[in-house]
Structure 1
Amino acid sequence: MELVYTIYLFLNLAPWLVLGLPPIWTQPEQVHLSYPGVPGSMEVTWTTFNKTDSTVEYGLLGGRLFDLSTQGNSTLFVDSGDEKRAMYIHRVILIGLKPTATYVYHCGSDEGWSDVFYFTALNDSVHFSPKFALYGDLGNENPQSLARLQKETQMEMYDVILHIGDFAYDMHEDNARIGDEFMRQIQSIAAYVPYMTCPGNHESTYNFSNYRNRFSMPGQTEGLWYSWNLGSAHIISISTEVYFYLDFGQELIFRQLEWLEKDLQEANHPENRAVRPWIITMGHRPMYCSDDDQDDCTKFDSYVRLGRNDTKPPAPGLEDLFYRYGTLIMGQPVYNGSMEQPYVNPKAPVHIVTGSAGCRERTDKFNPNPKDWSAFRSTDYGYTRMHVVNASHLYLEEVSDDQNGKVIDSIWLVKEKHGPSAWL
């Protein structure tokens, strides 16, 4: 009986002995793609909680599995919450991809590999007609549109996803565990197509650190602002948040403005505008809206539109800049509050306000007396589909998840002439 008792005692203690050992977290998770802006490339980003190598093994669909291999690197990200949780963000850029070819891949190291995913390399032709899903405000709690977006993405309905601010609600919460859960949730979308982002107000905690560390966007600004090309479109992502979080640096307003004007000047060179006539800008906070609250966009002198006079020097807004360079703003064509006849050869930038894909804050109420430039309004959860058809035609439609995927609004935007002279 003594031997039996000893074994019984050991078995009862075994769970405590196991719990006393630190876990080994080398298994990749939170896999997502982004486009670095260079034709024939794709960036793969993922997370582990122990340091490991950063490798992507991949190959052409139908060919030898994992025939190719590319190494990258990882950076240590320590969340600023009380626990100071640490994680390793891995990044690998694949180059020399064949346009429109489909690749099968997994990522990680010999200490752990991810599931197997696939993606289609972006078409680098200026005649390519890309299709996008775009939305903001997608949370870990009540991510209502997520299942529909997952299915449509895996049905290859979209070439790119644009997530225009407000992730997870909020990524920093519970010592960044909510951020981890959210990144796991969107893996079934973001591991298959480039998931392109911009920051929103819900990313502001700890100076946007979770946003800046978790996503991999083009340029050298940690995804705060950047631009890239696809088909006949030049796409610009900006941070509207630089106008609201001055404690993180008023100079960010001016740095972004300087970069933005140079980018717009380059995009408007005749040889560039001839091949990429559409200039599409995405930012989290709109210049115009008709919400029944006190958001910046409800005010005629909004910070994003007209700038701030309480900084030294005063900070210009964005409306004049976009008007001067003939930009579509991600609705009606609006400049200085006026509206022209939509949507054929509009005489001002077109503003599209879209969201919310689903979050815990529910939706805002509308002002019962909207301005004339408020063309269509809905409080349904959902998202927008955008198809850049060719150099003169762009199609948008609004999908209601509350109404089981029904298209509740759509427009054709026709511009036979692009650039600042189109306003004349």
Structure 2
Amino acid sequence: MVSVQTASLLLSFAPLLVLSVPPIWTQPEQVHLSYAGVLGSMVVTWTTFNKTDSKVEYGLQGGRLFEMSAEGDATVFVDSGEEKRKMFIHRVTLTDLKPAATYVYHCGSDEGWSDIFSFTALNSSSSFSPRFALYGDLGNENPQSLARLQKETQLGIYDVILHIGDFAYDMHEDNARIGDEFMRQIQSIAAYVPYMTCPGNHESTYNFSNYRNRFSMPGQTESLWYSWNLGSAHIISFSTEVYFYLEYGMELIFKQYNWLKQDLEEANKPENRAARPWIITMGHRPMYCSDDDQDDCTKFDSWVRVGRNDIKPPAPGLEDLFYHYGVDVELWAHEHTYERLWPVYGDKVYNGSKEQPYVNPKAPVHIITGSAGCRERTDRFNPNPKEWSAFRSTDYGYSRLQVVNTTHIYLEQVSDDQYGKVIDSIWVVKERHGFSAWL
């Protein structure tokens, strides 16, 4: 019989004994979708902390549950923090999906399955009118817009989410546990619609490794830049950060610039521009802004816009490139505010007309939407903005965009401070697209 003293001693060591046994983490989590850039496809990405198979079982809504299955593989991601935490990022691409059909799915393996989710396969028609939610700078702490976005996504309001840089604040913190928690938070959005991304400055630690490993965007650039088509729009996502983090490779500026030029040339071929006349870009740091940040917004010479002449060889900016190839709408974040600009090029306003500035504008339309909510709160505005600033708000919120048809785009801003009220909206109307539209 064990004495009372011995029993007490064993009990005191019990927590240490339990901690010495590592948990088995085969349960899928952090499930999110992305568009593979190929018609009839969707990528399902998720995480486990032990090695398992990678399988998605799915079926048409209303049909036999899980009558189809697809397999993929997992890559090992070791975070560069002190603990060198290891996780397995699973990717499975579903193919031959019926356009606009709704599918029910779960993912995992025989060692653990996710909840059941659903998604609607993207409509491949160029006459489709897709609806987007767009925002940047959404954090794990103070995510003001998250609840409304979760509900609206599950109500089927959106076809795609665009997250324009800065995730979690920050994904690498606490040995990437903040990244895990953020990905769990957005699962209630991203497991239902494609969650399309671009990198921001808050992803820069360890050479953007958390961003590059966790997301699965089209192309072969580890989600740093890519393009895809939806409805009558050609959408380009790129990295503004290549201009700022030269320690990770100055050549990335030129590699991305050359890729952008080739992509825009292809999009401007007459047959392509006729089918998808709208060209929309998304990048994190804006070319123009009027926050009182003593940085890009107050210097008016953004490296993204005008390039860098302080390095050899000099690096070209993107404003002239986008203008030359007739980019219609440019979406940005980074500033923790909402700002709509008049059509602008070369620091000058080029409205379509005084009465209808966004009808046949003579320059691209810029929207900054970085107020979804993070621990850094919202920013303050410069009290004396330049003439291209049309509307500004410091309310927490996010934007909506609908590509209605080949001539009309609708944009609006939702305020979380005002309980979902639409506080700004415009129609961008273009009868012509491409460089000739500016003349």
Q: Which whole-Å CA distance do the structure 1 matches of 2:103 and 2:261 have between them?
A: 37
Question: Which residue of the partner structure matches residue 406 of structure 2?
Answer: 391
Deviation at 1:300, TM superposition (A): 2.3
Q: 1:368 aligns with which of 373, 383, 391?
A: 383
Q: Which whole-Å CA distance do the structure 2 matches of 1:324 and 1:92 have between them?
A: 38
Q: Which whole-Å CA distance do the structure 2 matches of 1:211 and 1:332 have between them?
A: 32
Correspondences of 1:223-302 after superposition (within 5 Å): 223-302=223-302
Query: Which secondary structure does the structure 1 equivalent of 2:374 belong to?
Result: coil
User: Structure 1 residues 287, 67: closer, same or farther in 2, change over 3 A?
Assistant: same
Amino acid at match of 1:397: E
Question: Which residue of the partner structure matches residue 381 of structure 1?
Answer: 396
For the pair 1:411 / 2:426, whether they are aligned, the reply is yes
Q: Which whole-Å CA distance do the structure 1 matches of 2:154 and 2:10 have between them?
A: 46
Deviation at 1:22, TM superposition (A): 1.3
Question: Which residue of the partner structure matches residue 322 of structure 2?
Answer: 322
How many corresponding residue pairs?
Answer: 423
Amino acid at match of 2:221: T
Q: Which whole-Å CA distance do the structure 1 matches of 2:302 and 2:188 have between them?
A: 37
Q: Which whole-Å CA distance do the structure 2 matches of 1:346 and 1:111 have between them?
A: 56
Query: Which secondary structure does the structure 1 equivalent of 2:389 belong to?
Result: coil
Would you say the 8 A contact 1:33–1:44 is kept in 2? yes
Q: Which whole-Å CA distance do the structure 2 matches of 1:103 and 1:67 have between them?
A: 11
Question: Which residue of the partner structure matches residue 70 of structure 1?
Answer: 70
Question: Which residue of the partner structure matches residue 339 of structure 1?
Answer: 349
Deviation at 1:355, TM superposition (A): 1.9
Deviation at 1:19, TM superposition (A): 3.0
Q: Which whole-Å CA distance do the structure 1 matches of 2:128 and 2:204 have between them?
A: 36
Would you say the 8 A contact 1:288–1:298 is kept in 2? no
Q: RMSD of the TM alignment (CA)? A: 1.5
Q: Which whole-Å CA distance do the structure 2 matches of 1:7 and 1:153 have between them?
A: 57
Would you say the 8 A contact 1:212–1:224 is kept in 2? yes
Which runs of 5 or more residues in structure 2 are unaligned?
332-340, 352-356
For the pair 1:31 / 2:31, whether they are aligned, the reply is yes
Q: Which whole-Å CA distance do the structure 1 matches of 2:308 and 2:7 have between them?
A: 72
Query: Which secondary structure does the structure 2 equivalent of 1:253 belong to?
Result: helix
Amino acid at match of 1:420: F
Amino acid at match of 1:80: S
Q: Which whole-Å CA distance do the structure 1 matches of 2:252 and 2:21 have between them?
A: 45
Deviation at 1:228, TM superposition (A): 0.2
For the pair 1:197 / 2:197, whether they are aligned, the reply is yes
Question: Which residue of the partner structure matches residue 338 of structure 2?
Answer: none
Q: Which whole-Å CA distance do the structure 1 matches of 2:221 and 2:437 have between them?
A: 32
Deviation at 1:26, TM superposition (A): 0.5
Indicate the larger mover: 286-295 or 209-218.
286-295
- Identical columns (%): 80
For the pair 1:307 / 2:322, whether they are aligned, the reply is no
Query: Which secondary structure does the structure 2 equivalent of 1:416 belong to?
Result: coil
Amino acid at match of 2:232: S
Deviation at 1:312, TM superposition (A): 1.2
Deviation at 1:8, TM superposition (A): 6.7
Question: Which residue of the partner structure matches residue 141 of structure 1?
Answer: 141
Q: Which whole-Å CA distance do the structure 1 matches of 2:240 and 2:14 have between them?
A: 54
Deviation at 1:356, TM superposition (A): 1.3
Query: Which secondary structure does the structure 1 equivalent of 2:368 belong to?
Result: coil
Q: 1:358 aligns with which of 360, 368, 373?
A: 373
Would you say the 8 A contact 1:46–1:91 is kept in 2? yes
Deviation at 1:294, TM superposition (A): 2.0
Would you say the 8 A contact 1:54–1:91 is kept in 2? yes
Deviation at 1:209, TM superposition (A): 0.5
Question: Which residue of the partner structure matches residue 167 of structure 2?
Answer: 167
Q: Which whole-Å CA distance do the structure 2 matches of 1:103 and 1:297 have between them?
A: 44
For the pair 1:216 / 2:201, whether they are aligned, the reply is no
String of CA shifts for 1:54-103, please: whole Å, max 9, x gaps. 00011111111111110000000000111111100000000000011111
Deviation at 1:20, TM superposition (A): 2.4
String of CA shifts for 1:267-291, please: whole Å, max 9, x gaps. 0000000000000000001100001
Q: Which whole-Å CA distance do the structure 1 matches of 2:115 and 2:9 have between them?
A: 36
Amino acid at match of 1:282: M
Would you say the 8 A contact 1:233–1:388 is kept in 2? yes
Amino acid at match of 1:280: I
Query: Which secondary structure does the structure 2 equivalent of 1:220 belong to?
Result: coil
Q: Which whole-Å CA distance do the structure 2 matches of 1:250 and 1:101 have between them?
A: 44
Query: Normalising by structure 2, what TM-score?
Result: 0.94
Amino acid at match of 2:412: E
Q: Which whole-Å CA distance do the structure 2 matches of 1:69 and 1:421 have between them?
A: 48
Query: Which secondary structure does the structure 2 equivalent of 1:292 belong to?
Result: coil
Deviation at 1:363, TM superposition (A): 1.2
Q: Which whole-Å CA distance do the structure 1 matches of 2:6 and 2:109 have between them?
A: 38
Amino acid at match of 1:422: A
Which runs of 5 or more residues in structure 1 are unaligned?
none
Question: Which residue of the partner structure matches residue 335 of structure 2?
Answer: none
